[in-house]
Amino acid sequence: MTSLFTSHRVGGLTLPNRVVMAPMTRVRAAAGGLATPSMAAYYAQRATAGLIVSEGVQPSVIGQSNPGTPGLHTDEQVAAWRPVTAAVHANGGRIFAQLMHGGRVSHHDTTGLQPVGPSAVPAVGDVFTATGPQPAPTPRALDLAEVPDHAHSYARAAGRAVEAGFDGVELHGANGYLISQFLSSNANLRTDRYGGPIAHRIRFAVEAVTATVEAVGGDRTGIRLSPGGTFWGVEEADVLELYTALLSELAPLDLAYVHLEATLDEESLVALRRAWPGTLIMNPVLPMGPKQTGKDSADHWLGLGADLISFGRAFLANPDLVERLRAGLPIAPVDEATYFQGGDAGYLTYSTFPYAA
């Protein structure tokens, strides 16, 4: 069976192992969406991962979901990211930027703008703002003429990501954010070419990915998907048919990878693995669910045909996660109270395994 510790080719990169650091929001960016020296240290500490996927990075002002998150839509942001990517590369790592347009999962208090979405349907739940959680506002439905520009915002940010030294980008098409909203059958009530039947609901995702491939190449482009996921209240009709159609449209683009979350039953996920001809990253557990990805679930999915396995929370408290997995060492627990509090505590303060002298 394929091992977590054998190499694998992704786009133009040879990964030394099949362990991927999943994208995780940490809200440690400086004002103006700027990456910081602490962020450089954080990612560099975890550079033994076969591939790092960064936290969600907004491709535009209106695309920002949470306060304290970084962007890739200004020259200053590009300059701030360069020391981060340089630090990862200096430590022998590889890093993709996750491009995340929040769509309706945002707030005027965060961006100064009314959030937008495929339809004027609010997300379910409270969104984060600088003054605390607030009910998700009703977004402004995008005009038909505006939609392509938002699809192309991913491509513009991808160009800036490459300029900033990233090895590639992952479009965040999961978890109830903008691409996911267009795929949805309850967040997307449009009756034009972007809504209704499956061929229309996948159009925004396909256009965003196609534009990104045209900007930076398929070998530098991946996408994350959460088929059947219900984050922020999204629902999807005909899930397996929807994602099979989407993967069929994406296949000719020769992407670096598709990154699936375990938001659907295993049989259906295996069917999607078979429908995708390229590299598949599998996140074997429900994001933010009760379980964390471990060696057993990773090996299970490698046996089912996944090429790479993404680990989320385990990477927060274990910067040396790859070596711990390789040697069968204990996985340290994460302090959940420090997820989003800012500062270096619970960010840079986790240590490698304390070997005896």
Residue 165's CATH number: 3.20.20.70
The answer to whether residue 354 is domain-embedded is no
**Banded pLDDT at 357 (limits 50, 70, 90):** very low
Measured distance CA(219)–CA(115) in Å, rounded: 32
The answer to whether residue 120 is domain-embedded is yes
Averaged pLDDT for residues 17-35: 97
How many domains does the structure of the chain reveal?
1
Q: Residue 155 CA to chain centroid, in angstroms?
A: 15
pLDDT digits (tens, 9 = 90+) for 126-156: 999 999 999 999 999 999 999 999 999 999 9
Give 222: exposed, middle or buried? Use CB within 10 Å, 0-12, 13-18, 19+.
buried
The answer to whether residue 305 is domain-embedded is yes
The answer to whether residue 12 is domain-embedded is yes
**DSSP structural state of residue 223:** E
The answer to whether residue 356 is domain-embedded is no
Window from 48-57, 199-208, 336-345 with minimum mean pLDDT: 336-345
The answer to whether residue 37 is domain-embedded is yes
pLDDT digits (tens, 9 = 90+) for 248-300: 999 999 999 999 999 999 999 999 999 999 999 999 987 766 677 788 999 99
Long-range contacts of range 29-32, CB-CB < 8 Å, 24 or more positions apart?
Answer: 29/68, 29/69, 29/70, 29/71, 30/80, 32/71, 32/74, 32/76, 32/77
| Cα four-point dihedral sign 65, 67, 70, 75 | positive
The answer to whether residue 129 is domain-embedded is yes
Amino acid at 17: N
Active-site residue set: 177
pLDDT digits (tens, 9 = 90+) for 174-223: 999 999 999 999 999 999 999 999 999 999 999 999 999 999 999 999 99
Q: What is the pLDDT of residue 38?
A: 98
The answer to whether residue 350 is domain-embedded is no
Provide φ and ψ at 220, rounded to 5°. -110, 15
Phi-psi region of 125 (alpha: psi -120 to 50; beta: other; left: phi over 0): left
CA distances from 93 to 15, 48, 55, 87, 265 (A): 9, 6, 16, 9, 33
Amino acid at 156: R
- Residue ranges making up the domain that contains 139: 8-338
What average pLDDT is seen over the chain?
A: 96
Measured distance CA(253)–CA(233) in Å, rounded: 30
* CB distance 98 to 170 below 8 Å: yes
Q: What is the pLDDT of residue 349?
A: 92
Instruction: Specify the 3-state DSSP secondary structure of 243.
Output: helix
* CB distance 117 to 103 below 8 Å: yes
* CB distance 115 to 139 below 8 Å: yes
